[in-house]
């Protein structure tokens, strides 16, 4: 098997893609191009143990599998353009690489707020350098932190800040409850209470209109007119897909890169997408293409996409069938853990307690049309054991639209 | 095949249990237990377990 596969993006999705290409039998060359200077590292600890100073940066690096030892890594290098018809990508150092197969694994970057005010003192948390920079600013005396966005990362940062002893921690969000988008009201309320009991304040039902300060941020102006004093601000208001380099190829890049149910891009046999950037239909549910920003997705998509790509390039076999992963994610905040299986977001019209109660350890089920489509466990480690029973049930359910 | 779990890193997520139930399990308190000398026939599942560990605490030796 000769030829070259180029993987664009050098994080978890890029690493898993390279490893899975070998597992799928690809013996040609593999080149991973990543714009960060680091080898792939694990992001979830960035908002948790890394920010808390409990995990040294060196402990985050993934250990590549032996089968991927001959993969070429071009780090600190950005892919700036692609010509899919000519099978080439252009790099920011002026070089062009020709490929036989291409893996899109460029992931996401944080969305930034576009309101008036100074930039200094405002942070996002996506990379190692981000986490380090934020930690340095949070560990001073008497810090007042405002987190914009009550999603998972925002709430994790708030919880970690409390653990670090930050004097004042306030989370702002236009929605009435934290994490309510994906989890619904029942758990949103339980989580609000737990965070407040542990010292996090909330300004909910209001957005951010601007920032105070000359050189550096001193306050956050809310859309309801209030001003929250702030020494440090974290913006965790969602993310934007890194797809600009694919412009000009007639692809649907409206939200990530659209793939078919085999993770092929633009109907081509020689281009696949993996990780957060891939917008794919999940045969387990309703066939609507969605991006999924869960840690399990780079690994799941890489396994499937590598088989699809190797089959497309060699024609040796038919390739795998439709992609149908069971999404899973977790979030650690304060002394509790959220663990989710399936697609709670698709079952928000009927949300019920399956086990326990929202004051303590609880298992919540998300249903649509009378069918369980997602389960979320909240509590200590033992709730995970209970959730596993429901995970098995979710795995066995037939597709929503057969 | 020798399986090594760094128990200082392990935070009892249980993802390895789903991937390789013959090798990994959680006890009633939700704590991880595992078989350190796993049968070679289970290599694929153990590799998957190592991949899906959120703390990347599982190593396969030999
Ligand atoms: C702070 C934080 C905490 C998280 N916590 C959890 C959690 O608790 N549980 C959970 O389930 N998930 C969590 N996640 C989500 C999980 O980490 C992501 O789903 C995962 O990292 C996605 O991997 P990826 O490789 O697809 O994308 P990314 O990790 O975004 O990697 C893409 C890589 O490509 C590079 N790149 C981009 N454009 C180019 C280009 N043009 N050329 C070359 N390289 C490029 C980027 O710099 C980056 O290195 C968390 C994420 C963050 C940021």
Number of Cβ atoms within 10 Å of the Cβ of A229: 13
Q: Is there an atom of ligand 1 within 6 Å of A10 CB?
A: yes
Which ranges constitute the DSSP H helices of A171-283? 180-197
Q: What is the pLDDT of residues A30-50, one digit of tens each?
A: 999 999 999 999 999 999 999
φ, ψ for residue A275, nearest 5 deg: 80, -160
Q: What is the pLDDT of residues A266-287, one digit of tens each?
A: 999 999 999 999 999 999 999 8
**Any bridge partners for residue A265, and if so which?**
A259
Nearest atom, ligand 1, residue A16 CA: 25
Number of Cβ atoms within 10 Å of the Cβ of A293: 18
**CATH level 3 topology of A4-42+62-109+239-314:** FAD/NAD(P)-binding domain (3.50.50)
Rounded to whole angstroms, the Cα distance separating A246 from A289 reads 19
B18, B28, B59 ranked by CB distance to A391: nearest: B18
Give the predicted TM-score (pTM) of the model.
Answer: 0.97
Q: Is there an atom of ligand 1 within 6 Å of A43 CB?
A: yes
Kindly indicate the confidence band of residue A387, based on its pLDDT and cuts at 50, 70 and 90: confident
Q: Work out whether strand A4-8 and strand A101-104 pair parallel, antiparallel, or are unpaired.
A: parallel
Cβ burial, residue A357 (10 Å; 0-12/13-18/19+)? exposed
Q: What is the pLDDT of residues A68-122, one digit of tens each?
A: 999 999 999 999 999 999 999 999 999 999 999 999 999 999 999 999 999 999 9
CATH 3.50.50.60 maps onto chain A at 4-42+62-109+239-314, 112-235
Nearest to A338 by CA among A365, A381, A378: A378
What is the reported pLDDT for A323? Answer: 97
On whether any CB of chain A is under 8 Å from the CB of B18, the answer is yes
A65, A332, A388 ranked by CB distance to B14: nearest: A388
A266 alpha carbon – ligand 1 mean position (Å): 23
A276 alpha carbon – ligand 1 mean position (Å): 7
A294 alpha carbon – ligand 1 mean position (Å): 9
Average pLDDT for A203-209: 97
Q: String of b and e for A339-356 (b: at least 16 CB within 10 Å)? A: bbbbbbbbbbeebeebbb
- Give, using CA atoms, the residue closest to atom 18 of ligand 1: A295
A45 alpha carbon – ligand 1 mean position (Å): 12
Mutate to test the pocket of ligand 1, among A39, A43, A96, A111 (most ligand atoms within 8 A of CB): A43
Close Cβ partners of A352 (under 8 Å, ≥ 6 residues apart) = A364, A365, A367
Q: Which of A382, A386, A390, A393 to mutate to test the interface with B (most CBs of B within 10 A)?
A: A382
Mutate to test the pocket of ligand 1, among A44, A76, A273 (most ligand atoms within 8 A of CB): A44
- Contact, A86 vs A183, CB < 8 A? no
Rounded to whole angstroms, the Cα distance separating A127 from A46 reads 8
**Any bridge partners for residue A329, and if so which?**
A340
**CATH level 3 topology of A112-235:** FAD/NAD(P)-binding domain (3.50.50)
ipTM: 0.93
- Contact, A166 vs A157, CB < 8 A? no
φ, ψ for residue B50, nearest 5 deg: -65, -40
Retrieve residue A218's tokens.
């001193």
On whether any CB of chain A is under 8 Å from the CB of B54, the answer is yes
* Percent of residues, chain A, with pLDDT higher than 70: 99
Nearest to A36 by CA among A78, A67, A64: A78
Number of Cβ atoms within 10 Å of the Cβ of A317: 11
Nearest to A230 by CA among A148, A333, A159, A114: A148
**Any bridge partners for residue A336, and if so which?**
A333
A277 alpha carbon – ligand 1 mean position (Å): 9
Q: Is there an atom of ligand 1 within 6 Å of A333 CB?
A: no
Q: Is there an atom of ligand 1 within 6 Å of A329 CB?
A: yes
Retrieve residue A275's tokens.
């990780």
On whether any CB of chain A is under 8 Å from the CB of B2, the answer is no
On whether any CB of chain A is under 8 Å from the CB of B52, the answer is yes
On whether any CB of chain A is under 8 Å from the CB of B17, the answer is yes
């Amino acid at each position: 098997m000769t030829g070259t596969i180029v993987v664009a993006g050098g994080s978890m999705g890029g690493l898993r893609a390279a490893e899975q290409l070998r597992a799928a039998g690809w013996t040609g060359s593999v080149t991973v191009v990543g714009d960060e200077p680091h080898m792939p590292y694990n992001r979830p600890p960035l908002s948790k143990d890394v920010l808390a100073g409990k995990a040294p940066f060196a402990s985050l690096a993934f250990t590549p599998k032996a089968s991927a030892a001959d993969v070429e890594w071009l780090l600190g290098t950005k892919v700036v353009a692609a010509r899919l018809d000519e099978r080439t990508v252009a790099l920011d150092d002026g070089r062009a690489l020709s490929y036989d197969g291409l893996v899109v694994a460029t992931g996401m970057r944080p969305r930034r707020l576009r309101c008036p005010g100074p930039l200094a003192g405002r942070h996002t948390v996506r990379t190692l350098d981000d986490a380090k920079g934020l930690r340095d600013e949070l560990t001073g005396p008497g810090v007042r932190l405002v987190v914009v966005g009550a999603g998972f990362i925002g709430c994790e940062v708030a919880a970690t800040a409390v653990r670090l002893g930050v004097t004042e921690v306030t989370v702002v969000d236009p929605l009435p409850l934290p994490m309510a988008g994906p989890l619904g009201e029942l758990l949103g309320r339980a989580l609000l209470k737990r965070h407040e009991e542990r010292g996090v304040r909330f300004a909910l039902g209001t957005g951010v209109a601007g920032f105070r300060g000359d050189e550096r941020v001193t306050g956050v102006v809310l859309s309801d007119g209030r001003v929250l004093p702030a020494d440090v601000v974290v913006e965790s208001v969602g993310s934007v897909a890194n797809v600009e380099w694919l412009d000009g190829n007639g692809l649907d890049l409206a939200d990530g890169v659209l793939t078919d149910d085999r993770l092929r891009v633009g109907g081509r046999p020689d281009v696949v997408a993996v990780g957060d950037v891939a917008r794919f239909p999940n045969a387990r549910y309703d066939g609507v293409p969605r991006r999924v920003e869960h840690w399990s997705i780079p690994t799941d998509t890489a396994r499937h996409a590598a088989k699809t790509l190797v089959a497309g390039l060699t024609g040796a076999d038919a390739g795998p069938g439709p992609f149908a992963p069971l999404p899973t994610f977790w979030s650690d905040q304060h002394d509790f853990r959220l663990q989710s299986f399936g697609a709670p977001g698709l079952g928000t019209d009927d949300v019920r307690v399956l086990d326990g109660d929202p004051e303590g350890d609880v298992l919540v089920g998300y249903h649509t049309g009378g069918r369980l489509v997602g389960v979320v466990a909240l509590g200590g480690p033992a709730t995970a054991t209970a959730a596993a029973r429901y995970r098995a049930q979710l795995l066995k359910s037939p597709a929503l639209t057969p | 095949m020798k399986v090594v779990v760094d128990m200082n890193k392990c935070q009892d997520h249980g993802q390895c249990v789903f991937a390789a139930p013959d090798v990994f399990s959680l006890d009633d308190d939700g704590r991880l237990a595992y078989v350190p000398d796993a049968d070679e026939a289970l290599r694929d599942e153990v590799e998957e377990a190592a991949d899906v560990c959120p703390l990347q605490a599982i190593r396969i030796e030999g």
